[in-house]
Chains A and B, each alone.
Chain A
Amino acid sequence: MSSLVQRSQVTADQVIATETQPLLAAVNLTVESGGTKVLRDISFTLPHGRILGLIGESGAGKSMIGRVIANQLPRGFAVTAGSLPFEGRDLLALPHHEHRELLGRRIAFVPQEPTGALNPAKTIGQHFAEHLKRLDVPKAERRNVALAALADMLMPAPADVYDKYPFQLSGGMCQRVLIALAFVSKPDLVIADEPTASLDVTTQVHIIGLLRRLQDKYRTGVLFITHQLRLAAHLCDEVAVLYAGDIVEYGPAGPLFRRPRHPYSRALDTANPRFSGAWQPLSSPPGHMPGLNEFRNLPGCRFAPRCASAIDACVAEPPALRVVADGTVMRCIRDDAVPAAESVAGVLQPVGANAQSIGLMQVQNVSMTFHSGGLFKPKAETHAVKEISFSISAGEFVGVVGESGSGKSTLGRMIMGLERPTAGQISLDGVPIGHTAAEWRRRIGIVQLVFQDPRSALNPRRDVLNLVTQPLQSTGHLSRREMRDRAEVLLQDTGLPKDVVSRLPHQMSGGQRQRINIARALCAAPRLLIADEIASGLDVSVQAQILNLLLRLKREHDIALLMISHDLAVVRYLCSRVLVMCQGEVVESGDTETIFANPQHPYTRELIAAVPPEDLTRNWTQLGAVG
C-alpha cells in the first residue's frame, strides 16, 4: 500500500480529533512596515500532528510568518491586525515572558543555515546541556537524554558528536543536531524554515526523512517553509502558496500540486524544470516578485502585472479568498486564469553535437592536487580533481553535476585558466593551451566564465555600460558611442531594457544582475561559456528565464556551454551530455537522457533518488529515514 493512502487515513482520524481546537491558526494576520502591508490578511489552520507547507519565492513573506510566531519581527515591522491562536491562546496577546516559556518547550524551530545556527565556541554537548537545564532535566541525566536524542537522528556515533564543536561537523550533521535539539522537548509545534536550503541534495532527503520520522513519532505539528513546491507536495498534508505577502492558494498538498489553479501557482509549476517525462520548454512570467517598496503601488492583486488574465478589477482591490474545490481556496477573481509568459521562440531542446563537428575544447587527464601540512602538521594531499578527460564540440551544451566539494567548480576554473592544473592538458581548437600572456589572450577570446554570484562578480562601482563592455576596454579604442551601441546589442541579447545602461549593480534585481553577468561574458564573443551554478541563487521563475536565455543564445550564436550545477533537472533541461562528478572524479558520463533514465554508478543513482519525483505516490520522504 502506498504511503499516501496510509497518510490520508491517519489524517482523517486526526481531523475528527482536532477539529475543535487546532494547534495553531492564523486569523487575518497583517504585518505592516512604514504603512506598507508586508503580509496581507494571512489565514491558515494547522491541526495537531499535521504538516503545513508555506511555499513561495524569496520576498514572498514566508519567513516573516515564522518571525511573527517567534515574536521576533525586525525593527520597524509590526502586526497591525489579526490573531495567532496557539491551542486557543493568542500568541500575539501573550505577555513576553509567557511567550518565551513556550519557545524551546512547546514551540521549537529548525533553522535555515545549520552551520551558523550553532554557537561556534560551544560543543554540541554544551548546547544540549544548556537546553536540557532549561527543560529541568536533572544534571545526571542530561548526557543520556542528549545521546538518546542524537541516536534518534540515526547518528552513527552520538557520543563522538556530543564532544565536537559545530565546525567539526558537516552541514547535514549540524542540521541533525538542531533537529534533535528541537525535538528533545517533544514540542507540539515545530517551525522548519527552509531546513535543507543550504544542504546537498542527497543530504536533503535524509534530513526530510528524519524530520518526517520524528514528526510522526511525536505527533508534532510542523510548519514547513520552503521554496520547493514538489518537495512540499511530498512532505506536507496541506500547503499555502505565498506571493508578495498574500496567501494566493491554500489547500490539500496533492491536489494543489497536481492541479494548481492560481496563475502564480501555475507559473511556479511551468517554470520548474521537470525531471521526468518529455522535454518541454519552460514558461515563466516576465519580471520578478515586487520588492517591499513596490507594494504600495499594487493595491489590488499583487500578481496582476505578471498575469495574462488580469482585468481592471484585479488591480482595483485585493481579491477575496474563495473556495474553488473541496478544501482548496484561492485569492483570484478569475477562473482558470493563466500567468503571462515570456516568449519561448528559439528555445529548443538541446541535441547532441553531430559526429563531424570539430572538438572545440579537450581536457586530457587533468588533475588538481593541493598539498597542505608543514613543519608541525602531517602532510596531506587533497585531490580536488583527479585525471579528468572530456571534450566539448562547438555549440554543444554539456552539464557537470555533483555535490559541493566534488571538484566541479575547480574544473571550470581550470578550463578558464584561473587555476593551473597540476597535471594534464587542456586544448582549445586542437591546440594545447598554457599560461603565457599570449595564450591567456587566446584563451579569453574563446572561453568565458559566468560566475555564480553576480553580486560578487560585478564591481559595485561600475555602471552597466561599463560592466558589459568591460572586455572591450582593455584592448579596443572604441568611442563612447560605439561602446553604447555594443552595450545595447548585448542588453537586447540578454533580454534587458536599454534604460538600465546607466544603473549600478545594486540598483537592479538578482535576475537582472545575472543577465548583466552573462552579457559581459558574451561581449568577448566567446565560443564556449562556462556557467558555474548561475541559476541556483535565483527564484524559480527567474531561473527559468535565465535557462531559456541560454538556449536562445545557443541557437543565435552557436555557443557551447559547460553548465556546472547541482540541480539535475536544470542540467536535464539544458544539456545533451552530462558528466557526474564525485570527489574529484568523473564517475559516469554520456548522453543526459540515457544516464538519468538508466544510471550505472551507485553515486549517480543516489543523486537521482534524491530528487523529489513528480509522482507523489512514490514513497520519497521515507527514503532517508532508512538507516
Chain B
Amino acid sequence: MTTWRRHPVLAETRVLIGAGILLSIVAVAALAPIIAPHDPNHQDLLRMLVPPFWKDGADADFPLGTDGLGRCVLSRLIYGARVAVIVGTVVPIGTALLGGIIALVAGYCGGWVDWSVSRTVDIWMSFPPVVLSLVLMVGLSPGLRNVILATILVDWTRFCRITRGAILGLMKLDYVSSARIAGATHVQVMLKDLLPGIFPIIITLFSVEIGIAVIVESVLSFVGVSVEPHIPTWGVMIADGLVTVFAEPWGLVLPMMAIILTVLGANMLGDGLRLSLDPRLASRPSLEV
C-alpha cells in the first residue's frame, strides 16, 4: 500500500470513490459556464426532443439531446449540478450545527432540557419529512435560500436524535465525571471530551446528509415549489422528462442518474467513514484467551 493511504480513513476504498464522485460533481458545477455547450434555458423550438448521441437522429450540437422545449440536456445537467452542490454543502453544515449543538447541550445537561428537546424532536419527527418541507415551502415561498432553510428545519432532528443518543452513551462512561473532577469546566468537557467522541458520527451523518439534501431538493423541484423557475435543477428535469417519457426517455433517465450518482457517492463516503472512524473497530483490543 502506498504511503499516503496509511491513514485508516484513506485506506478505505469506499471513502476514496465516494469523495472522488462528489469532488467531480463540484468541479463540474464550478466550471459550468466553461464546459456547458449552451445556455441551459435557451429554447430551440425547431429541435425538440433530439435523442442523445448514441441513437439515430442525434444532433452533434446536442450531445445528450434536447428536452421537450428544445433545451440542451447536457447544459441543463451541468448547470443543475450547481444547485445540487450548493444545497449539498450548505444543508449538511446547517443541520450538523443546529442538530449537533442542540444534541450536545441536551445530552450533557440532561433533566428538563433534555426532556424538552426530546419531545420537540418527537413532534418534529411525526411529520413525514416530505410533507413538512412542502408545507414550509408553501409558507416561505420558493427560492434557493428558502429551500435550504426548509431542508435544515426538517432534517436537524435526524442529526439531533442520533447525536444525542451517542452523547448519552458517552455520558454513561466515567471519563466525563473524571474530567469534571480534574477541574474541567462544562464547556471544556463538552468540547474536549464529548465532541471528539461523537465526531465520527457527525462526519458520517454529514456525508449521508449530502445525499438527502440533493434528494429533498429534487422532490421539491418535482412538485414545483423549489428554486426560481429559471434555474435548472435535476428535479425539474425529471418532472419535465416524465411528461415526454413516451417520446424520449433519456431526458428523464439522465437527471435521475445524476441524482443517483450523487447519493451513491455521499452514501459510500458515509459508509466508508463510519467503518474507518468507528473507535470500536479501530482500536480492536488484542485477542483474549
Whether chain A touches chain B in the assembled complex (some CB pair under 8 Å): yes
CA of A240 to CA of B21, assembled, Å: 61
Cβ contacts under 8 Å, A473 to chain B: 182, 184
Q: Choose among A293, A456, A475, A520 the residue that contacts B287 (Cβ–Cβ < 8 A).
A: A293
Bound complex: CA A418 to CA B177 (Å): 8
Question: Which positions 274-289 of chain B face chain A at CB distance < 8 Å?
Answer: 279, 283, 285-289
Contact residues of A with B, CB < 8 Å? 33, 38, 58-61, 63-64, 245, 291-293, 416, 418, 441, 444, 448-449, 451-453, 456-461, 470-471, 473-475, 504, 506, 520-521, 523-524
Report B-chain residues with C-beta under 8 Å of the C-beta of A458: 175, 178
Contact between A506 and B288, CB atoms less than 8 A apart? no
Contact A451 B174 (CB under 8 A): yes
B185 is an interface residue with CB less than 8 A from chain A: yes
A449 contacts across to B, CB distance below 8 A? 177, 181
- Given known pairs A474-B185, A506-B283, the reply for A457 and B178 (CB within 8 Å) is yes
Q: List 10 A-B contacts (CB under 8 A).
A: A60-B289, A293-B287, A444-B181, A444-B183, A457-B173, A460-B279, A470-B183, A523-B182, A524-B181, A524-B182
Given known A456-B173, A459-B175, A460-B283, contact A59–B289 (CB-CB < 8 A): yes
Question: CA–CA, A523 to B179, complex, Å?
Answer: 13
Q: How far is the CA of A473 from the CA of B185 in the complex (A)?
A: 11
Q: Is the CB–CB distance between B182 and A33 below 8 Å?
A: no
Residues on B with C-beta less than 8 A from A59 are 288-289
Interface size class of B (residues with CB under 8 A): 20 to 34
Q: How far is the CA of A471 from the CA of B183 in the complex (A)?
A: 6
Chain A residue numbers with a CB within 8 Å of B174 are: 451-453, 456-457
Which partner residue on chain A sits nearest B285 by CB separation? A506
- Chain A residues closer than 8 Å to B288, beta-carbon distance: 58-59, 291-292
Bound form: Cα–Cα A474–B187 in Å:
11
Taking a contact as CB atoms under 8 Å apart, the answer to whether A524 and B183 are in contact is yes
Is there contact, CB below 8 Å, between B289 and A461? no
Q: Flag if A293 contacts B286 (CB, 8 Å).
A: yes
Name the B residues within 8 Å of A60 (CB-CB).
289
**Besides the known contacts A470-B178, A521-B181, 7 further A-B residue pairs in the complex with CB atoms under 8 A apart:** A291-B288, A292-B286, A449-B177, A451-B174, A457-B177, A470-B184, A474-B182
What's the minimum C-beta distance from A59 to chain B, rounded to whole angstroms? 5
Q: Which residue of B lies closest to A532 (CB)?
A: B174
A59 to B287, CA, bound (A): 10
Contact of A520 among B178, B185, B197, B279 (CB under 8 A): B178
A474/B289 contact (C-beta < 8 A), A451-B178, A456-B173, A524-B183 known: no
> A459, B181: Cβ atoms under 8 Å?
no
Which B residues are in CB contact (< 8 Å) with A520?
Answer: 178, 182
Any A CB within 8 A of the CB of B33 = no
Name the residue of chain B whose CB is nearest to the CB of A244: B289
Residues of the A chain whose Cβ atoms lie less than 8 Å from the Cβ of B173: 456-457
CB A477 to nearest CB in B, in angstroms, measures: 14
Min CB–CB distance A304 → chain B (angstroms): 19
| 5 closest A-B pairs by CB | A457-B174, A470-B182, A451-B174, A474-B183, A471-B182
Q: Which of A458, A470, A524 has the most CB of B within 10 A?
A: A470
In the assembled complex, how far is the CB of residue A490 from the closest CB belonging to chain B, in whole angstroms? 13
B13 lies within 8 A of chain A by Cβ: no
Q: Are B289 and A451 in contact (CB under 8 A)?
A: no
State whether the Cβ of B110 lies closer than 8 Å to any Cβ in chain A.
no
Complex Cα distance, B188 from A471, in Å, reads 12
B196 contacts partner chain A, Cβ-Cβ < 8 Å:
yes
Contact flags (1/0) for B157-194 with A, using CB distance below 8 Å? 00000000000000011110111111111001000010
